A and B are shown apart, each in its own frame.
Chain A
Amino acid sequence: SVLTQPPSASGTPGQRVTISCSGSSSSIGSNIVNWFQQLPGTTPKLLIHSNNQRPSGVPDRFSGSKSGTSASLAISGLQSEDEADYYCAAWDASLKAYVFGSGTKVTVL
């Protein structure tokens, strides 16, 4: 994948978990980042848009940030229902393609 994410992350209920997403100057460095959540057996859902904006209905324990060519998603106060795959994504101006990270599986211990 053009965007690099760790394959897995985990935490106990109530902990804070952070997922990194590394890109390039032509992707994250010059375009907004979105984050998608895919719960087991379901369709992906928009979690964070425009680097750090939560759509209506997304709990405020989810937050996004971006700096340079990297972005991150933080889940504070981890809950069992947060077990899912998380994908970062951004437009890549050099590839003229929308690129996804490889996904990070979050496990609640």
Chain B
Amino acid sequence: EVQLVESGGGLVQPGGSLRLSCAASGFTFYSDWMSWVRQAPGKGLEWVANIKEDGSEKNYVDSVKGRFTISRDNAKNSLYLQMNSLRADDTAVYYCVRSIGGGKSAWGQGTLVTVSS
């Protein structure tokens, strides 16, 4: 069974940093693109970033470029999102997603990030 378990969310002040982690199991992690998708309270889905199987290619939504960094450790079956210079509008549930554009898409349960003073 495919499992994606996010962690690292919490309350942080504006301008602060957080590192999200996603532990993957039940599939061949190093064979899939991985993404982070977020959902602000009461709002729709927003793709944040993705990373190629070997980590050689990364893409970001414009609003997080220069502030967020996606990475992965295939030896640990783990995906990460380093978030710096956090703003109030980054407040959202962050989902770890396997192969978002394909037929194997699977989502974690999400971790809540709240940016507030």
Residues in A lying within 8 Å of B, measured CB to CB = 1, 31-32, 34, 36, 38, 43-46, 49-50, 53, 55, 85, 87, 89-91, 95-103
A87 contact from B44, B60, B110, Cβ within 8 A: B44
CA A27 – CA B44 in complex, angstroms? 18
Q: Are A44 and B61 in contact (CB under 8 A)?
A: no
Q: Are B95 and A103 in contact (CB under 8 A)?
A: no
21 contacts between A and B (CB under 8 A): A34-B101, A34-B102, A43-B95, A43-B108, A43-B109, A43-B110, A44-B45, A49-B103, A49-B105, A50-B103, A53-B103, A85-B44, A87-B44, A89-B47, A89-B100, A89-B101, A97-B47, A97-B60, A97-B61, A98-B35, A103-B45
- Check B50 for interface membership: any CB of A closer than 8 A: yes
Q: Are B45 and A87 in contact (CB under 8 A)?
A: yes
**What's the least CB distance linking B37 to chain A, in Å?**
8
Contact A100 B47, CB 8 Å, known A43-B95, A43-B110, A44-B95:
yes
- Check B54 for interface membership: any CB of A closer than 8 A: no
- Check B46 for interface membership: any CB of A closer than 8 A: yes
Residues in chain B near residue A87, CB distance under 8 A: 44-45
Residues in chain B near residue A85, CB distance under 8 A: 44
Q: Are B46 and A100 in contact (CB under 8 A)?
A: yes
Residues in chain A near residue B103, CB distance under 8 A: 46, 49-50, 53, 55
**What's the least CB distance linking B63 to chain A, in Å?**
10
5 new A-B contacts at CB < 8 Å, known A46-B105, A89-B100, A100-B44: A43-B95, A46-B103, A49-B103, A95-B62, A103-B44
